[in-house]
Structure 1
């Protein structure tokens, strides 16, 4: 054999060996993937549908449909919580698999609220139904406006302000010609109060989250809850020029209500509603209700109130999901696994989720969002497509939380709403417009459990405080523990 022929043959054999190795590697990868999916077995019976933890990692989960497991990955930065069964932030995710055997009850809750008594619970001050699905006022679904409530959690700042404004500047109007509005549950850290004031001036509702967004608040006492929620309301008053009387709603961090303690604080300090209670995936969604009676659905967090709080409204988080459970189910829309969808698929997913309300009992469709949603272009575009589509339906109204409750206290049919005073946009007394030259404050900040002092930046039309406002010092005076919140009913004594 010639030297040239030998070299050519050697090259051919080498190429064949490389090709064979590649084929083996690819087959091995597929076999490994198939092996992983084959090893996971969906639970038998009715529990075979739903989301289940991946035993190997908290970043993934299995979605079981008719007993077959589909492997899903949580969106970037989120982890699967095997108790709540959706993707959430790392700090609050409880990795699985977690045994489903219920823990023994170690104490008997006291002062339990009684079950709903419709004959004793009359609007405008009380509303309940046996399963939470009945329409107020006995209206037929066709007579009932389909309310959509856009809500946003967390700080408002340069990361999201323009994104939020785009939602409301898209020339989308209600049937009476008024531009649509949303509700913002503000947390303090990193909030720009000039932007918050601008939102309030534009007619959006401002409600309170908490000052620190701390973990474990559900187990804290009255003073801690007052410091977080009433402190947040005081910060909004002082630095965003929003009066206390305009801030009537609250939301607990991570949707973990503070049992009876949180609701006692809200009752004592004149709040109208809370929106912290999660509802599991149900075929028919739940309407808002007052807390005069026992909650008619399962409490997802396990930390809901057990006492009666007459006249205080709860606007619950109905779980978002579609029939196939594609994307899982979630309280916040950005916790559903839709990051691998294109804009049209996101739009269609929202349509199907929405139809469960629109085609059945017309319970208000809450669309709760964090900044995360707007960081993925396909999700943002899909949301805008959905909003435009929904606005073209003649019986759909985009309302704030308070506007939805105003309607519920005095239910009126769709045909009577074009001149409904509570939903009009003219002659409204709105908070003042923000200033043209705000103060940009660089403020010292030391966490109570930290050994070093940091710098926080805050913009406001008010004067810069002495230091960064925080728990116990909502005015930023620099005097720790300066705040002392006393309910009005105690002040008069």
Structure 2
């Protein structure tokens, strides 16, 4: 049995046991906290910002872009990769930059090389603990940051976001997060859909009710941003959920129902204060073997926003905060550096570098450069451009000893859009194309086919060794390795 199949089976078993379980279901209302008080004359950018329903910079809502954040929680591996690529690979924003998402990654069951692929293609990687622990201790938070930096190739200076697993937090867990001094924001607090609010800093405590956690005691964390998670409402304005939307609270799950619900929520934002909308997902429920109608609806919704509204930007959380610190109207946002991008290096003249990117543009990624790491005693399997440590990264030792000659990426990454070569241990300059408005950024790797949706996928194989058909065969075989009882748990909607 191939190592790839073992990894797939292990990941699916983890899903069935709840390691990657859905979190943040329907919650009660979370309205503005009546005790919240913040003086905007003393709380000023860039380090402090009061909670508000009004756009920053005194701008008029109708004259600014509508921002949507697409976020994913939990492990990144080959099982969920097709869902991710089908949602992220086919769209560009009005300024020509590709749609960018934020991934809150828990390192258990994660394939670090696949994290590096996401980062290399312009997405944001954020932390979600190592073992998916609610109310996490500092070791869980810091350990995930270290492992994603060292083995996922994400510069430490770019790992700035955090989401609490199960959206379960406390004053102590926020103190743990703030004590590290390396995080810019947290995004774990749910807010009622009818309570529009922009991100704000926690200098003066929470501006919204702590419905999924506890904010007792001295809940003040100067300079730490909170990016609220607006609930999704049903078309009758009752609460649907905060994550992984349903068609309605009671009706059977259909793609049309989900799409209608997403459009309803979008229009509340767009025709109101244009506070950011979020589509907060786990990729697992949208797997083609579980509930493919979810993925169909998500893809249709993204296409609808991009084809119907010329002022909608799908951005990462870091891009959203950067725009807030330098807000511009719709026209000015076309050239706002906060929303800019650098298309991944792809040109036949490039050398192949182990960075998760198809540098030559020939459909091959990191051929012969990644290493497969297997730790049967820890039930851990992953690939990495940075060598295999003596054991899998864990809470007690997130950076185990190694005999590898590979070099970890510098904390600040490479200057001037350079690329880190972990084999040579240096930054190299590769040829890149320039973002062009309306032009697809690249041909994505093969994914699943959704009826009624143009896949636009090339037949370029991951690591240049498998066809799309072979990848689907591997996936089916991996499913067969999962006991029926466990898979029943996996496929049941939480």
- Mapped partners of 1:194, 1:177: distance in 2: 27
Equivalent residue in structure 1 for 2:321, among 397, 405, 416:
405
Query: Is the 2:107–2:129 contact (alpha carbons within 8 Å) kept by the matching residues of 1?
Result: yes
Report the Cα offset of residue 261 of structure 1. Answer: 3.9
Equivalent residue in structure 2 for 1:461, among 374, 385, 401:
385
Q: Does 1:377 align with 2:271?
A: no
- Mapped partners of 1:312, 1:342: distance in 2: 39
Over 3 Å counting, the alpha-carbon distance change for 1:396 and 1:90 in structure 2 is closer
- Mapped partners of 2:213, 2:292: distance in 1: 35
Report the Cα offset of residue 432 of structure 1. Answer: 6.2
Q: Which residue of 2 aligns with 1:426?
A: 342
| Bigger Cα Rg | 1
User: What count of residue pairs does the alignment treat as equivalent?
Assistant: 359
- Mapped partners of 2:204, 2:354: distance in 1: 39
Structure 2 counterpart SS, 1:398 = strand
Report the Cα offset of residue 428 of structure 1. Answer: 8.1
Report the Cα offset of residue 474 of structure 1. Answer: 0.6
- Mapped partners of 1:302, 1:468: distance in 2: 31
Relative contact order: is structure 1 or structure 2 higher (C-alpha 8 Å, sep ≥ 6)? 2
Q: Which residue of 1 aligns with 2:373?
A: 441
Report the Cα offset of residue 117 of structure 1. Answer: 1.5
Report the Cα offset of residue 169 of structure 1. Answer: 1.7
State the Cα RMSD in Å. 3.1
Over 3 Å counting, the alpha-carbon distance change for 1:92 and 1:464 in structure 2 is same
Counterparts in 2 of 1:15-414, with a 5 A limit? 115-129=37-51, 132-170=52-90, 172-214=91-133, 217-218=134-135, 225-279=137-191, 281-304=192-215, 306-325=218-237, 328-334=239-245, 340-375=252-287, 376-392=291-307, 393-414=309-330
- Mapped partners of 1:201, 1:345: distance in 2: 34
Query: Is the 1:123–1:410 contact (alpha carbons within 8 Å) kept by the matching residues of 2?
Result: no
Structure 2 counterpart SS, 1:179 = coil
Over 3 Å counting, the alpha-carbon distance change for 1:358 and 1:426 in structure 2 is same
Normalising by structure 2, report the TM-score: 0.67
Structure 1 counterpart SS, 2:201 = strand
Over 3 Å counting, the alpha-carbon distance change for 1:461 and 1:282 in structure 2 is closer
Structure 1 counterpart SS, 2:233 = coil
Structure 1 residues without counterparts, runs of 5 or longer = 1-75, 80-87, 99-112, 219-223, 446-453, 479-493
Report the Cα offset of residue 284 of structure 1. Answer: 3.3
Report the Cα offset of residue 341 of structure 1. Answer: 3.5
Q: Does 1:476 align with 2:400?
A: yes
Report the Cα offset of residue 322 of structure 1. Answer: 2.4
Structure 2 residues without counterparts, runs of 5 or longer = 1-14, 29-34, 347-352, 357-365, 403-494
